[in-house]
Amino acid sequence: MLDECAHLLDEVGYEALTTKEVARRAEVPIGTFYQFFSDKQGLVRALALRNLDAFLQRITERLTERVAEADLDHWTDLVDLAIDEFVAMKRTTAGFAVVDFGEVLIAPGGPIVKGTDRSLDSALENNVVVADRLRSLTMDLLDAPVGDGLDRALLVAVEATDAVLKLAFRMNPDGDPDMIVECKQLVRRYLADHLP
């Protein structure tokens, strides 16, 4: 059902997405759909969580490869790796152009569906969840002091990355390459004051 949801988001966008069509395309009775998801928002939330897990898994695999090959020279390599993985998913993962990590765009390129800033966790904004998960994944590798200052810096970095990459994909459906480079530079320079 999540796969069909993702494909339908690419085809018709969020507003035209219906639970009935997802169930039909997934070849399950609508009652079965409602055993797993309360409504369209629940379905999209599950897709966003799956996307975040896939993103983090991809980063973990790439980091493991780079560490094994002694090809991780500096923490800035992590910034580039995370941005590159996000861009790759935006280009290749079904539905990711509309729903990446919770915030829902009406269609690829925007605008944002109101009230989806807490899709991943009802108590926390989406980017807070993303920053926390990235921090957990990378802190051991960075050997950086953990604390409120670094947590705040990572949240600011995630917010900035989110904003600049949204702009890059509004400018070009494949992501404006120059804006992607600018995003990496912005995040690296900002985090340089907070990381060793």
Verify cis geometry, omega within 30 degrees of 0, for the bond prior to 111.
yes
User: Rounded to the nearest 5°, which phi and psi values hold at 112?
Assistant: -80, 140
Tally of CB atoms within 10 A around 5:
25
Sequential pLDDT tens for the chain (196 residues):
999 999 999 999 898 999 999 999 999 999 999 999 999 989 999 999 999 999 999 998 998 888 778 777 888 888 999 999 999 999 999 999 999 987 788 767 677 888 776 778 878 888 899 998 888 877 766 666 666 688 899 999 999 999 999 999 999 999 999 999 999 999 999 999 988 7
The reported pTM is 0.89
Burial code (b: 16+ CB inside 10 Å, e: under 16) for 143-163 equals ebeeeeebeebbbbbbebbbe
The reply to whether 196 falls in a domain is no
Q: What range defines the domain where residue 108 resides?
A: 2-191
- CATH number for the domain harbouring residue 18: 1.10.357.10
Query: What is the C-alpha to C-alpha distance for residues 18 and 46, in angstroms, rounded to an integer?
Result: 15
The reply to whether 94 falls in a domain is yes
The size of the chain, in residues, is 196
The reply to whether 81 falls in a domain is yes
Query: What total of structural domains would you count in the chain?
Result: 1
The reply to whether 123 falls in a domain is yes
